[in-house]
Structure 1
């Protein structure tokens, strides 16, 4: 039945996100300073996500900002670790893709038709929506994570938030400088990265950055009957590069281009059945005969996991007389993903899974073109404004002939599900925002966005030997808005409040032998937030406290077909889901001692909604609006939102010891806690739906002398073995304890 659940609602997710074990650091002589990022001596934090350089202290948004140095200090090497460094973030990596959720809103279903509610931007361009997210963080200037609906000032619309990853720019007149870093660690880990700034002329500069890593797998895998397993156990092989050019012929014109090329071979994403994590059988005191550690599993199918892609971005800025700026941001992305998995996670049958020959394979391409145009007024006026237009054209290519296969087992036409074809998606939008200073300290901002979206399936399916054509399309449009009021009481005290809406388009269900099912509808979030920011001791201590309340309408979820619940279908929750909570962040730089702290508390409650769990047998009808309630038709009212942990906590502290002529020695400790969360709305612990707490402790000891830094580091020091994601009844493990040494040389 796992294959039925996988295919029942919409196109299956096509990629995965993996670990990149290298430490990342940012060259202190690069554009960090020119981009006005955080200065640890107590200067302002500046955010650029809203297409202006704005003081975070006086901007009515909830945001966390990390520089390249912050990423290195907190052992953040890719998107997965962000959840342990800032509040209200949950990242669940299930191999084929990624659920990135902020305040319980983001992506909860595993398919290409369900768009993500948290948009990730790389150098200003919205990237692959939920996939190809495993690229390593290297030569990074800053990462800005905005919480709450976004879209009236930049790029794509979103319901949960946005992540802006900005790499270091070339510096004109900055000389030839850069860094080189090598790394060696557990699991035979070895990595090398670096960057060099090249001043070509007094108006032109280039920057080249690169990253490579090799690491052994985390798993001990055996084949049937304990025989050696000949497949890949997750050996990592990564290579990535970036070349950037900056041309500034006049003070008014700058042209910045960046091209990334990534080859990310994760080897495999091994997983085992959810019931293997139980020491005793659920609801009994009987020892579970199938219990095993998350990294000690048995498989009988080959595996593979490989991403390769290229991304090019082009940003053109021109300033007219009077200070109005024209900005163009263009993007082209083209990627291929190949994934092969043992879909049952077993080498031999069990009483829970009689068929241990279920497999999955796909070879899928994705291509995105995007264009954004902004007109931006000067920053120093009482009345400010921004106008923008955005277009994105995204096409998935399920390669021919039928290179998307769910086999039970593979090669048997009577039990296979095969798919080929294309899924083009288009988003067009106009947006704008105006600001007016009612007084020098009180500012009102109003923004709006109108979006048109379109998606189409042009696919062919062979289900159990029966050919099925799927030629469908769906359209949606929406007006989103934001209204905010900010009051700068003084340089160190700021209050803000806003109301905003966010929009996520709907999509199409693929057929499963029951005709062409109806599309699922768009989602919309209405968010209310108020916050207080305060600086103390001349900015050496910064705090942020905020509270939020979200009305979440038309939440998209996979349930059993209302009239035939053996199969799955994606529908909208007919009633309103409510999510509310509070967040607090603090950061201090007190001489040689510094610390950071973040905490969030969230409550979520689903509106009235009847559904059948497609993982369980049932032949009773179940209407989402009316039920009727029965043993299998469940009223889900009041249940928690998926991937919405009700508590998160992160903290870090370091102290710099001055060793005189011997340099400095800096010990640092990091801790991140993500509370337990539900992986499905059915909240059935016996089916593995409860993902337990994550408590990740890391530490490092860095010795710096002149241009050299040598760092001993360790992550997940308690070696907690935790479930990083649940998908198709399989447990995907988070990374175990790792440790090593890195050597950094600036030049």
Structure 2
């Protein structure tokens, strides 16, 4: 095996790491000093009492007056306060006392989502039990009684607001809901999110943590740094630029929002399909924490912990971590190792510093460490008359074939590569030393400064990805196509947001600046039966953007939102691709690479620059206090890139252009006591589509043409009684190519009848949960989930052997909690009827390489977990 570090000795030396850390520290220090000096010059609010004179009036108006007087944000849906009155309030009140007084007799309660943000929600109703006692179960919050329809807050528009007041197709999932749904990692999100596909084994990657994410049929299957993802992944407002490292376990998640459709105005480039926005928990103001231990099938042993340590009233800290261990589920009969295993560690530190009532610093640092056996890829097709396979067979001692010409090899002879090694779905005979290793580091500083006329937010971040993986592309005992991939990536970003209200709070505005820079080195070795090459190179990108968005309340029920973003990006690529050993032709003569060290591409830097403007507009109208409707238009783009997998010499680096999406959407959001239901219908014009095809035997990205994608989402939650809880989601996609350039038609196995990759027509999920009081012991909850996905192709050429067939999943859980919800025991099962389905795949069967591989799902799983809050 070739030593990548020996061949490419400087691949671990990344200058951006030194520059990024230094620059990040300087930026953060300047911002911190600026904000701190400003805070010192401001008068700190004296005492915690507010002088109020609020007359008796409708509850919504009274809450608005309190919010203005206390200079806080009070979030509630219109339907929640409709037809409710508030009593008069006069005198000096603490904020908590004022809220309690206004809500008395309304059937509502409140909670603080941050120091200056309050959420109004329905107060839980105590369910009856067979014994006449009261239950203590709620899906989302501790120490409330029974299931209730919780008020959900989101920041999809970069300001905190009720989900039901947000004119956008959003799925929002709380941290508690994630735990109770057995959603421990990012790839599980597609089980409860319509029109989302989230795979952790990107095509041809060999890594267990290479995300392939699609929303509404738009995403990216490739993972190399010269291509960009089509769905943005954000953690606490920080963009994760690379696919590798974007499939991860959750640590102390407060909430996840899946935003569907282009988010080009507020989030920017590479959110053309949408965005997955993850919010982590902030430290609590009292000492406490949580521990959880889990056992399960495949020798699964997982543990998580979180510990809140307040240093003072102004400085709060939190330490959290997770350990995951699980055997792989694909047996490699050559090495005896299990592929697709879990062996990861994660740790996170958070600190919240509030030197005054209007200034907040939130710092986070995280590290993820994975050392695993490799992706669970298996052989799904082989052509032993293809040149690479035929040459390997001819060179294999004991395989009775010669070359040329290509000959079929005998089945049953283990020295030959042929269909006898098609052992899918859970067995493989790979002779490569497969591995998947990953280290991710990240730091971020959030500064939130509330002034009289505006709010200023700063997000400074540095992240690093260090990955190494090896893949056996042929999955046979012979060496036909092996790849080794190393990624060293560093990124720094700085975002400034300015927001406020004008015109008697009828205009809510935001203005922002964004800067992002990235460097990545991605050398990869390709060992073929005809020789070895080094592929890849160095990639740099720099992005600058300015954006603005404003919402104007035309009337009490009608609002207009408009936004615009200007993005300018510069990318450079320095290819470092050459032959490591001579290429041999079938006759034994040298191919154009006549010696080791021959260049495949010129060792010259190439540049790609782009500037784009992405607008959006939304008109929302409250038909009633319970029903909001909206119509919106938005645009997004994904930047172009470079081909870095070139098998034969070329005079210059091939490139591909950006892709674009324009979306019209009509939707509604309805809430009434025990029912919440949200729906959207959309039409997408998807142009200059980036998709992966084969050039020779190498996967490359091209602009394949244009498509139209129509569809809808429908989601709902129902709480008919405090004992019962139902949730459902339905997504539908009708995607068709409408234009394919002649050049693409002539050179690729793609036409107008081809289906778009990773675009199932239907995606549905349903949940039923029942909670029962068991006396003084606590409560018992039974939960049943059903997930359905219709079929979808995993490759551009719609290869039948790489089609994900439609599948159904059935998950269930029994959950016991003590009366105070300090202890929780959960016995859970996933995929109870043992459904096996394709996750991802790569197709070279029709090329000289002559093989196709794919990864399949695990079978039935069970877990038993116990957690303790203290």
Give the TM-score band, short-chain normalised: 0.7 to 0.9
Q: Cα 1:602–1:244, aligned 2, differ >3 Å: closer, same or farther? A: same
Q: Which deviations, in whole Å up to 9, do the C-alpha atoms of 1:563-620 show, x marking residues without a partner?
A: xx6665432124x21001111111112311101100011100113325xxxxxxxxxx
Name the structure 1 match of 2:166: 59
Question: What is the match of residue 345 of structure 2?
Answer: 239
In our comparison, the structure showing a higher alpha carbon Rg is 2
The secondary structure found in structure 2 opposite 1:641 is: coil
SS of residue matched to 2:190: helix
Counterpart-to-counterpart distance in 2, 1:210 and 1:32? 23
User: Partner of 1:248: helix, strand, or coil?
Assistant: strand
Instruction: Provide the residue aligned with 2:740 in structure 1.
Output: 609
**1:269 to 2:375 alignment:** yes
Which residues of 2 match residues 322-337 of structure 1 at below 5 A?
322=453, 324-337=454-467
Is it true that 1:492 corresponds to 2:608 in the alignment?
A: no
| Counterpart selection for 2:675 from 541, 552, 572 | 541
Pair 1:35–1:340, CA change in 2 (3 A): farther
Aligned 8 A contact 2:803 2:838 in 1: no
Local SS of the residue matching 2:381: helix
Q: Secondary structure at the match of 1:370?
A: strand
CA contact (8 A) 2:329 2:376 kept: no
Task: Give the equivalent residue in structure 2 for 1:446.
Answer: 562
Q: Deviations over 1:77-134 (max 9, x none)?
A: 1111111111001123324322100000111334322211210101110113322023
Distance 2:463 2:261 in 1: 26
1:108 aligns with 2:221: yes
| 1:309 and 1:335 in contact (8 A); partners too | yes
Q: Does the Cα contact within 8 Å between 1:473 and 1:508 map onto a contact in 2? A: no
Instruction: Report matched runs for 1:280-299 at 5 Å.
Output: 291-299=422-430
- The alignment covers a number of residue pairs equal to 664
Matching residue of 2:364: 258
1:308 to 432, 439, 444: 439
Could you tell me whether the CA contact under 8 Å between 1:83 and 1:674 is conserved in 2? Answer: no
Are 2:281 and 1:168 aligned? Answer: yes
Contact 2:693 2:748 in 1 (8 A): no
In 2: Cα distance, 1:160 partner to 1:670 partner: 27
CA–CA distance in structure 2, aligned partners of residues 357 and 634 of structure 1:
24
Q: Deviation digits for residues 276-328 of structure 1, max 9, x if unmatched?
A: 8xxxxxxxxx9975553411222212110011111111100101123x10000
| Map 1:23-42 → 2, pairs under 5 A | 36=119, 41-42=148-149
Deviation of residue 647 (structure 1)?
0.5
TM-score, length basis structure 2: 0.73
- Which residue does the alignment assign to 2:817? 704
Matched, 1:509 2:643: yes
**Contact 1:232–1:304 at 8 Å: present in 2 too?**
no
Assess, with a 3 A threshold, how the Cα gap between structure 1 residues 326 and 708 changes in structure 2: closer, same or farther: same
- How many Å separate the matches in 2 of 1:553 and 1:288? 39
- The counterpart of 2:323, out of the listed 196, 212, 226, is 212
Show the counterpart of 1:659.
774
Which residue of structure 2 lines up, in the alignment, with residue 133 of structure 1?
Answer: 246
Q: Is the 8 A contact 1:158 1:502 kept in 2?
A: yes
Partners of 1:93 and 1:732 within 8 A in 2: no
User: Is the Cα–Cα contact under 8 Å of residues 32 and 141 in structure 1 kept in the other structure?
Assistant: no
Instruction: Check whether the contact 1:607–1:638 (CA below 8 A) recurs between aligned residues.
Output: no
Matched, 1:520 2:640: no
**Does the aligned pair in 2 maintain the 1:373–1:389 contact within 8 Å?**
yes
Structure 2 CA distance for partners of 1:633 and 1:502, relative to 1, 3 Å: closer
Counterpart selection for 1:358 from 470, 481, 485 = 481
In structure 2, the residue matched to 1:746 is: 869
Q: Tell me: CA distance 1:578–1:658, structure 2 relative to 1, closer, same or farther (3 Å).
A: same
C-alpha distance 711-317 of structure 1, shift in aligned 2 (>3 A): same
Q: Secondary structure at the match of 2:226?
A: coil
Corresponding residue for 2:516?
392
How big is each residue's C-alpha offset from its partner over 1:133-179, in whole Å with a ceiling of 9 and x where there is no partner? 232112110100000000322465521101111111013xx311111
Secondary structure of 1:202's aligned partner: coil
**1:90 equivalent in alignment to 2:197:** yes
> Is contact 1:51–1:154 with CA below 8 Å preserved after alignment?
no
Any idea what SS the aligned residue of 1:243 has? strand
Q: Is contact 2:421–2:476 with CA below 8 Å preserved after alignment?
A: no
**Residues 742, 455 of structure 1: alpha-carbon distance in 2 compared, 3 angstrom cutoff:** same
Partner in structure 2 of residue 17 of structure 1? none
| Structure 1 unpaired stretches of 5+ | 1-28, 224-228, 277-285, 349-355, 611-621
Query: Using a 3 Å threshold, how does the CA distance of structure 1 residues 177 and 32 change in structure 2: closer, same or farther?
Result: farther
Q: Name 1:81's counterpart in structure 2.
A: 188
User: Could you tell me how far apart the structure 1 residues matched to 2:700 and 2:842 are?
Assistant: 16
Q: Quickly say closer, same or farther: Cα 1:89–1:67, change in 2 above 3 A.
A: same
Paired residue for 2:803, among 683, 690, 697? Answer: 690
Q: What are the superposed Cα offsets for residues 241-299 of structure 1, whole Å, 9 maximum, x if unpaired?
A: 111000111111000001111102232113112238xxxxxxxxx99755534112222
Asked if structure 1 preserves the Cα contact closer than 8 Å seen for 2:170 and 2:259, the reply is yes
1:202 is matched with which residue: 292, 310, 313? 313
Alpha-carbon distance, 1:514 to partner: 2.5
The whole-number CA distance in structure 1 between the counterparts of 2:657 and 2:474 is 32
CA distance in 2, matches of 1:335, 1:291: 34
Query: Of 532, 535, 541, which aligns to 1:419?
Result: 535
| SS of equivalent residue, structure 1 residue 601 | strand
CA RMSD of aligned residues (A): 2.4
CA-to-aligned-CA distance 1:357-404 (integer Å, 9 cap, x gap) = 421112221111011110011498101110011111121123xxxx52
String of CA shifts for 1:439-470, please: whole Å, max 9, x gaps. 01100011001111121111211134322325
Give yes or no for contact 1:139–1:168 (8 Å, CA) kept in 2: yes
Are the structure 2 counterparts of residues 260 and 694 from structure 1 closer, same or farther at C-alpha, using a change threshold of 3 Å?
A: farther
Q: What's the offset of the Cα at 1:736?
A: 2.3
TM-score, length of structure 1 as denominator length:
0.85
Structure 2 gap segments, 5+ residues each: 1-110, 122-139, 142-146, 383-410, 412-417, 584-595, 844-851
Match in the other structure for 1:158? 271
Counterparts in 2 of 1:44 and 1:266: CA distance versus 1, 3 Å: same
Distance 1:342 1:436, change over 3 A: same
> Offset of 1:471 from its aligned partner?
2.2
1:383 pairs with 2:507: yes
- Decide whether the 8 Å contact of 1:443 with 1:487 is kept in 2: yes
- The Cα of 1:653 is off from its aligned counterpart by 1.2
CA separation of 1:635/1:397 partners in 2, compared to 1, >3 Å: closer, same or farther?
closer
Give the 3-state SS of the residue equivalent to 2:246 in structure 1.
coil
In the alignment, structure 1 residue 735 sits paired with structure 2 residue 842: no
